[in-house]
Amino acid sequence: MKRPLRAWGLILSLGCMLGSAPAQVEEQKPCVPQRVLIKFRSPLAYLHANRIAASWGARVEGGIPQIGVLSLQIPPGVDEKTYADALAQYGAVEFAEPDYIVEPCQVVTPNDPRYNLANMEGWHLARIGCPAAWARTRGHPRVIIAHLDTGIDSGHPDLAGKLVPGWNFYDNNENTQDHFGHGTATAGVIAAATSNGFGIASVAWDCRIMPLRISSPEGSAATGVAAQALVWAADRGARVAVLTYGMTQSQTVRDAARYFMIRARGVVVISAGNGGTADPRPDNPYVITVSGIDPEDRRASWTTYGNAVDLCAPGEQILTTSRSGGFSPMFGTSYSAPIVAGVAALVISVNPSLSGDQIQRILFRSANDLGAPGWDPEYGWGCVNAARAVALARWLPMDRQPPSINFESPASGAPVSGVVQVRVNAYDRSGVYRVQLYYGESLVGTRRVPPYTFTWDSRYAPNGMNTLTAVAQDGAGNIGRADLQIRVDNPVDNHPPTITITSPTEGTILEGTGLVVRVDAQDDVGVVRVELYVNGNHYLSSTTPPFTLRGSTASWQPGAYQLQCRAYDAAGRVGYSQIVTVHKP
């Protein structure tokens, strides 16, 4: 039986490959040697798979019958990628590919200089698990986020080239330049150019932004204009829309968001607002309303919360783009909502077939639960988590493995006294977001970058066995902990501290507005704090030897003032200095 000409052509091309080394156009990913995975379009081909493979110089060595994939052993010395590409040209083949070897997903760290967790620059990205999510996707240029705001500074180095054509709904023209500044700042959070060696990092690196100016020159925006912009964006390919105005209760915006959700198969994300109070109005099911949290995962004091809240996201110290090419730290739900919008864009990037309702459910289900278990009016379903959301969108198992954590020093059971250096080791595949050290219920400190070294003053602890607890949180929100038993052995403190004000002296006339009070504080074990009282009222404190206290007298009225200091030891005993009278001219 004669083979079709198409098959003969493929066999000839394979024969050529066997006799010559393939041209290496790009670096190949590692794969299992001499193995190619193949799937035929027709079930009939599987009846003759052995014969077909033999005609290609290969043989069937196994497969996955449930999904119709066969494993072929190909001749030695042949490039697996080139061989698979040639097989894929055969009309009866649905796909052919090497059996790639993939390392476990690790965190991705962008090279932007203002992504510096030690300085809290980009902390919000680590907090929501972006480094682990970026190992799977940095977004896709086909995923467009409609940005309903005051416009965008298209000339900003971290935003140039990230924009698609938009519209100015206030002036009814194509000029979407930022006239106010708010829009440039919110846009940088979503999709500023990242890992370009400049500026900041963003949530959805490779997604693009559709600038839609809906505001007046003063920065305000009407709900009707916002609704028009949502419809316009849905009709022009946007999959995510972010609205950083508190319009969640507008019926017009509600209907426009419903249109966007169905027409664009996407989601609309809206800021809860910065009123700092509870809003009792009902939820809008067609938008994702976002409240704000601080770096300690607490509801920010300024955020609006209530029945409409679906998710929360970081909203304090968010370093982002500003007009004229700069960068500024910002706060408010105007920055919490863009964070969620960026995560939604990552979700769509790994699974574009999702509907708007499915995207919402993925974001809610993958969030880190905060506050009361389940949904609550302060945090909604919890803090958005990019790593878990992307994994869920790809139908992959979400990271539920807590970080590994242990104490490096001091040793378990070791005697300690005075000020102790505590060193903790922590590791996680999704990246360690932060490590905290606790003594009982008291937080000793927080570290976000290694080495995780803390200073603990054991003089506040009773002599005998005490417990320190280290807690590590990874980028997916999982928490690991370790306890350390140590024996505190401080000298017995039998006497209160002594303290003397050495400067200023009695009768000093204060010059200028600066006040500097120097003391001599002594204790048989150690002084831990010194306080200054002015006319009997607490004014300044210091916990660092030599306990010099510095303040201002700018608000003082002319007259005489009595200064007295108090010194405290770790046992809580207090010593009092003499009273020194000074004069403000």
Q: Counting beta carbons within 10 angstroms of the beta carbon of residue 364, is it exposed (0 to 12), middle (13 to 18) or buried (19 or more)?
A: middle
Question: Against a cut of 0.75, is the pTM above it?
Answer: no
Confidence of residue 111 (pLDDT cuts 50, 70, 90): confident
Residue 415 confidence (pLDDT): 94
Q: Which fold has domain 117-393?
A: Rossmann fold (3.40.50)
Other C-beta atoms within 10 Å of 476: how many?
A: 27
Model confidence band, residue 6 (pLDDT cutoffs 50, 70, 90): very low
Catalytic residue among 124, 140, 147, 149: 149
- The residue with greater pLDDT, 474 or 159, is 159
Where in the sequence of the chain do the CATH 2.60.40.10 domains occur? 404-488, 498-584
Of the residues 154, 250, 334, 349, which is catalytic? 334
Mention every residue, 6+ apart, whose C-beta is less than 8 A from residue 247: 223, 226, 253, 270
* Residue 416 confidence class, pLDDT cut points 50, 70, 90: very high
- Average pLDDT estimate for 498-514: 93
Six-digit token pair at 64?
Answer: 């996955």
- Listed in order, the ranges of the chain carrying CATH 3.30.70.80 are 5-100
Q: If you classify domain 404-488 with CATH, what class do you get?
A: mainly beta
pLDDT in tens, 321-352: 999 899 999 999 999 999 999 999 999 999 99
pLDDT of residue 2: 30
Please answer whether residues 153 and 178 qualify as being in contact, where contact means their C-beta atoms are separated by less than 8 angstroms: yes
Six-digit token string for 283: 């939820």
149 is catalytic: yes
Instruction: Determine which of 18-32, 215-229, 303-317, 490-504 has the lowest per-residue pLDDT on average.
Output: 18-32
Structure confidence at residue 46 as a pLDDT band (50, 70, 90): confident
pLDDT at 397: 67
Please state the rounded mean pLDDT for residues 363-378: 93
Does the pLDDT at position 569 exceed 90? no
95-106 pLDDT, tens digit each:
888 887 655 545
Q: Which of 182, 310, 336, 577 is catalytic?
A: 182
pLDDT at 222 over 90: no
182 is catalytic: yes
Domain 5-100: which topology?
Alpha-Beta Plaits (3.30.70)
Is residue 179 annotated as a catalytic residue, yes or no? no
* Correct CATH for 498-584 of 3.90.930.12, 3.90.226.10, 2.60.40.10, 3.30.56.10: 2.60.40.10
For range 422-443, the mean pLDDT:
89
Top pLDDT among 501 and 100 is at 501
In the predicted model, is pLDDT for residue 359 greater than 70? yes
Closest CA to 150 of 168, 174, 172: 168
